[in-house]
Structure 1
Amino acid sequence: MDVDAYAYAQRRSWDRLAELSGRGRLSGAEADELVTLYRRASQQLARLQSHSPDPELVGGLSALLARARARILRGRIDAWREVGRFWTERFPAELYRARGWWAGVGAAFLTVATGLAVWVANSTDARHLLGLHDDNGDLTGPGGAFETYYSEHPHGAFAAHVWTNNAWVSALALFLGILLLPAVSVLFMNALNVGVSAGLMADAGRLDAFFGFILPHGMLELTAVFVAGGAGLKLGWTLVDPGRQSRGRALARQGRATATIALGLVGVLLVSGLIEGFVTPSGWPTVVRIGIGALAELAFLGYVFVLGGRAARAHDDAGRTVGAESEQSATTRSAG
């Protein structure tokens, strides 16, 4: 075995291993490359130890492998840091970028629900058309089904139930968005349910009870549904109009953003489920229950527009800087 020739042939991969081992942050592809180069260099070290009398070469490669091993282990520890980055950067940034879509969905949803509520409250024909009975006291009266729905089950079990149900509705709105019309149908049916309930409670003169039970959890819950619907429709529209990118590349990019939003909404819906399970039926004064819901909603909006806006702008600025440097480098090479 010609050790010098062997070492010369492997020098480029060893230099690359040294470069990746010294970097502060690696992309997913770079992390995979680091592990691959580490394994290959370990095999090469074993071969050199069997054939090479050069302790300097063996010692240098051993030291390189030690640094690479430490970098790999640190990368595993950094997984928790990545979890932190998801909640402080990636998720809020994607919410911020999709803000126009989910704000539009929210405005349309509330317009439809309000229109249906006014129609149902003021028109007997509307109630008949929707298959509703003239006497809805069992639903709208004091102690009726609308109120007991929030207290007929243990708080913990009820919170888990609504969390699962709301996650399912949001998932449908998100992932049916690529088909556009099914997502619109899911959103419309939810607007119909809210509008009909509000209309019946208004007809019974109990609109105050409706808002007292809906608003504490409903502000955050419905916002999460709006986000899911908006992100889903944005994904579907990417299929129709991919912009300057190829359709496949645009869908892949938006699909990753949609998956990020889907994962983050699990946490948002958990918070709204806890409010619905423990605060809404608590018996506390209405102003207190609505105040807790309002604080949760304001915290979410601040999370999106402050933290998310900052993260999105920082990422976009970094992208423009890299693009400008790449363009300048290409111009320099052309001039050379």
Structure 2
Amino acid sequence: MDIDAFVTAHRPAWDRLEHLIQRRSSLTGPEVDELVDLYQRVSTHLSIVRSSSADAMLTGRLSALVARARSAVTGAHTPAWREFVRFVTVSFPVVAYRARWWWLATSLACVAVAWVLGVWVASNPQVQTSIASPDEITQLVEHDFADYYSENPAASFASHVWINNAWVSAQVIIFGIFLGLPIPFVLWSNAANLGVSAGLMASRGKLDIFFGLIMPHGLLELTAVFLAASVGMRLGWTVIDPGPRKRVEALAEQGRAVVSVALGLVGVLFVSGLIEAFVTPSGLPTPVRVGIGVLAEGAFLAYVIVFGRRALRQNETGDLERAPDVAPSA
């Protein structure tokens, strides 16, 4: 390639693009269209120069020009604090709110399964003996169940609980990739463990201790797990029924929504872990401990409802402001 001829032929376009970039705050509509067109053309010029010429100065000039043009076309980068505020007030709550019916159905189904299993275990001595020997049940009811929350230092226990709960939530979210089919099994396992434990405690008249130890942290913890499961199953259902949008676009939007929930639940489960480590095993009266759990649960649900409903009314989806699969690109 004759580099001098190439420069002579395209320099006017480069100079014009430079001029438009300098005036980007006062461009007219046609000039904005021209800016986008020149950005695309100069990007092509840069590719040609990189592949056909060893002129480092020309490559550097065009690279800088294309970078400035890209900034002018796509806009300045959103400050990190604004992205964080948008995530907290829009992205996470609106995704959770949009999944509210999946979330509610998942919660009711799991609670119903745990309740039925609990009643079945509590009312059938034969079932109890098939689970564990009478001595093992006594050990669990009288010591192990309560000791679990106080046998380790609170700080390390909080981090352990946080990691464990985050892993369970991550599992059900990841399983959305497989049409959400494994998620009911994960929920079944958790509901079965909860129901069996409740049934064994009830069989020895210790149901008050069970709820006194589970409710302070369990309300928020289980709510978070149910939310993760609901958005995971929603992602799987999007593969089957993408709605009016193209399947790829619907999956991309729902996939980003799942990521928003995953990030938001990190904070929710952190609060749950703190309650489980510092409140559940504390010497506070049971009504106070349960009240703290109810307060945390109510605050989280109110946050999702208030911010999520407001964002939904503003036609927010929780997606990126400039999603790569829908935003204009050169």
TM above 0.5, one fold?
A: yes
Q: Which residue of 1 aligns with 2:96?
A: 95
Q: Deviations over 1:262-315 (max 9, x none)?
A: 111111100100110111111111111111111111110011100111112213
State whether structure 2 residue 318 is matched by structure 1 residue 314.
no
Amino acid at match of 1:112: V
Q: Which residue of 1 aligns with 2:176?
A: 177
- C-alpha distance 200-231 of structure 1, shift in aligned 2 (>3 A): same
Q: Which residue of 1 aligns with 2:110?
A: 109
Q: Which residue of 2 aligns with 1:161?
A: 160
Structure 2 spans left out of the alignment, 5+ residues: 28-35, 47-56, 320-330
Task: Report the CA distance between 1:124 and its aligned residue.
Answer: 1.9
Q: Deviations over 1:133-179 (max 9, x none)?
A: 234110111xx110000000000000000000000111111111332
Structure 1 spans left out of the alignment, 5+ residues: 24-29, 41-45, 51-61, 320-336
Q: Which residue of 2 aligns with 1:305?
A: 305
Matched residues, number: 285
Q: Provide the rounded CA distance (Å) in 2 between the counterparts of 1:300 and 1:184.
A: 24
Q: Provide the rounded CA distance (Å) in 1 between the counterparts of 2:157 and 2:310.
A: 36
Q: Provide the rounded CA distance (Å) in 2 between the counterparts of 1:185 and 1:280.
A: 28
Q: Provide the rounded CA distance (Å) in 1 between the counterparts of 2:312 and 2:16.
A: 37
- Percent identity, please: 50
State whether structure 2 residue 187 is matched by structure 1 residue 187.
yes
Q: Which residue of 2 aligns with 1:80?
A: 81
- C-alpha distance 149-312 of structure 1, shift in aligned 2 (>3 A): same
TM-score under structure 2 length normalisation: 0.76
Does the 8 Å CA contact 2:94/2:316 hold for their aligned counterparts?
A: no
- Which residues in structure 2 correspond to 1:17-96 (within 5 Å)? 17=21, 75=77, 78-96=79-97
Amino acid at match of 2:77: G
Q: Provide the rounded CA distance (Å) in 1 between the counterparts of 2:205 and 2:236.
A: 41
- C-alpha distance 12-192 of structure 1, shift in aligned 2 (>3 A): farther
Q: Alpha carbon RMSD of aligned pairs, Å?
A: 3.6
Q: Provide the rounded CA distance (Å) in 1 between the counterparts of 2:117 and 2:195.
A: 5
Runs of 4+ that moved beyond 4 A: 1-8, 18-23
Does the 8 Å CA contact 2:90/2:316 hold for their aligned counterparts?
A: no
- C-alpha distance 19-235 of structure 1, shift in aligned 2 (>3 A): farther
Q: Provide the rounded CA distance (Å) in 2 between the counterparts of 1:19 and 1:138.
A: 78
